Structure 1
Amino acid sequence: MLASFALAAQFLTRIPLNINIPVTEQRLGQSVLFYPLVGLLIGTLLLLLTWLLPAQSFALNAAIILSTWVLLTGGLHLDGLADCSDAWAGGLGDQQRSLKIMKDPAAGPIAVIMLLLVLLLKWAAIQSLLQVDLTLGFLLLTPFLGRLSILMLMLSTPYISTNGLGNAMQIHLPRFAAGLIVCASLLLCAWLLNIYTLLTVILLIYWLRHLAMQRIQGVTGDVYGASVELVEAAVLVSLALAYG
């Protein structure tokens, strides 16, 4: 299990673990179970960072926290969001055209606009939450819920490619254990946060799944990345509106 967690951390973050782990398809599937835990790891590191930052510099602190957040993941999920944004706008509902755009490494204007809007929303929400001293809750649970969304999509939505890591992960994902983790995590977050934030997350994932099925008849790794970024932004904004 420790090896599966380390594999998940190596895949989702840029934390230099330097652990040589034999990668098998079964271990790839098991590693997905630890994605929410990797989110907690990211949140813990961000929480430690906030304790080192000067008090009252809310705007600057929010920028430093957000920049560190992006660096910890290497922009992995932002890349997925950018690819999906271009594909949704330029694919015109055609599956093959959308998939071709998603594979294009160049970012179009829609991708740039979407990235700027999501990062702006995150920065403003973090700044607001810092002022009401909710750092423990939002820094730990936001990246946790973001990565939990990957499990929810894997359990509910087909992966469209028969090749690649995503397909192997979904095939070998222990579905019963994943379902238990999702249910327990949602109940825990409903208790720790508020029911409105939780409903926002669930509705957002449902909408993203509907859009992915409509446009490309399934999900890809880019859709997983987009779900992480959009869920994180939704949680931060929801909490900022409720408590900020």
Structure 2
Amino acid sequence: MHTLKEFAFTLILALQFFSRLPLAITVYSTIRQTQILNYLPLVGLIFGFLMVGIFALVIQFINLFIASGIAWWQQLGVNEFAFLVLLVSVWLSGALHLDGVADSADAALGSINQPEKALQIMHDSRIGTGAAVALTMLLLGKWLFLSAIFVKLFSPLDDTLFMQGLVMLMLIPFLARLMPLCLSQGAVIASQTESHRNMFTAVKSSTLLTYVVFFSSLVLLAFLVSQSLFTVVFAALALLSLAVLALWLRSFANKLLGGINGDIAGLSIELSELLLLFVLLMVLRVF
């Protein structure tokens, strides 16, 4: 019971730290804060459930209050659905990880192989050209990929493929948040604050493995239920793509800072989500 209580309280603290969900409950402790990075993929899983839930509510609203005779996805449109999903995603995270993209882009533009200068740029609250371009390209890319994904899911509407695609879309925030855990394994920690360094060093390889096994089990279950290779192919390509991205991010972080920090973690999440959306789109086009 005590372990379950600690799990729940640490998860709530992780949600308070990594999201903008209104959780007005006092659960802070130094020990729990040290552990919250281990709970980051669960935060992503909750984000995925919430996004799909809001998606379903919008569909019900359209069915109830907009004239019948026209399919719900045609009444709102794929571009609008894509923007809605993107908007909810940014709101849930409070643009926390986008800040990491902006800081990393500015630092990379002005200080490769100069870790001290890079950290100084990252701590500057102002954004430069690198940040503006990076954020624009990232958000535009997500919106375009989401729009194309919805085009494939909605036209023609295949109930089985629609549900499989929606489930995989729901799992993308979870998968993307595995990346900081992966990068922390054996990495030099470049964070200047002790609390952030402790968060990275507290990440356990066994926790990362547990999450990968959990994801693989869900994929296997989806395959057994649907008898379709869609989820298996997506899962294999997704994990392979993330492994390649992890290698590049580790090299990038080492050149920029000599290690990883919170901004690199945020960058890794956003790039992972963009990459996974692209992988999902490519698999949908095959099936």
Normalization by structure 1: what TM-score? Answer: 0.92
Q: CA deviation at 1:103?
A: 0.8
**Preserved CA contact (<8 Å) 2:34 2:195:** no
Within the candidate set 102, 107, 130, 1:110 is matched to 130
Within the candidate set 58, 62, 78, 2:82 is matched to 62
3-state SS of paired residue (1:127): helix
Identical aligned pairs, as a percentage? 31
1:44 corresponds to which residue?
49
1:150 corresponds to which residue?
180
Question: Which blocks of at least 5 consecutive residues in structure 2 are unaligned?
Answer: 1-6, 60-71, 154-161, 221-230
Q: Go from structure 1 to structure 2 and tell me whether the alpha carbon gap of 1:21 and 1:167 turns closer, same or farther (over 3 Å shift).
A: same
Letter of the 1:236 partner, please give it.
L
Letter of the 1:160 partner, please give it.
A
2-side partners of 1:92 and 1:105: how far apart? 19
Whether 2:280 is the aligned partner of 1:239: answer yes
1-side partners of 2:90 and 2:178: how far apart? 18
1-side partners of 2:128 and 2:218: how far apart? 36
Q: CA deviation at 1:190?
A: 7.0
Structure 1 outlier segments of 4+, above 4 Å: 188-191
**Preserved CA contact (<8 Å) 2:112 2:255:** no
Q: Go from structure 1 to structure 2 and tell me whether the alpha carbon gap of 1:242 and 1:139 turns closer, same or farther (over 3 Å shift).
A: closer
1-side partners of 2:98 and 2:168: how far apart? 19
Alpha-carbon displacement from aligned partner over 1:50-88 (angstroms, at most 9, x marks no partner): 111442210011111101110111100000011001101
Whether 2:23 is the aligned partner of 1:17: answer yes
Letter of the 1:61 partner, please give it.
F
2:210 corresponds to which residue?
181
Alpha-carbon displacement from aligned partner over 1:159-201 (angstroms, at most 9, x marks no partner): 123524321212333x253243254256457754332222111
1:169 corresponds to which residue?
199
1-side partners of 2:279 and 2:257: how far apart? 29
2-side partners of 1:186 and 1:213: how far apart? 29
Letter of the 2:190 partner, please give it.
I
Alpha-carbon displacement from aligned partner over 1:107-159 (angstroms, at most 9, x marks no partner): 11111111111111111111122231355233321100111111111223221
2-side partners of 1:156 and 1:240: how far apart? 33
Count of matched residue pairs: 242
**Preserved CA contact (<8 Å) 1:32 1:151:** yes
**Preserved CA contact (<8 Å) 1:28 1:172:** no
**Aligned residue runs from structure 1 range 208-219, under 5 A:** 208-219=249-260
2-side partners of 1:158 and 1:232: how far apart? 24
Letter of the 1:144 partner, please give it.
F
2-side partners of 1:15 and 1:158: how far apart? 31
1:3 corresponds to which residue?
9
Whether 2:12 is the aligned partner of 1:32: answer no
Alpha-carbon displacement from aligned partner over 1:174-230 (angstroms, at most 9, x marks no partner): x25324325425645775433222211111111011110122110110000000000
1-side partners of 2:253 and 2:219: how far apart? 26
Letter of the 1:210 partner, please give it.
S
Whether 2:248 is the aligned partner of 1:207: answer yes
3-state SS of paired residue (2:268): helix
Structure 1 or 2, whichever has the larger Rg, is 2
Question: Which blocks of at least 5 consecutive residues in structure 1 are unaligned?
Answer: none
2:148 corresponds to which residue?
128
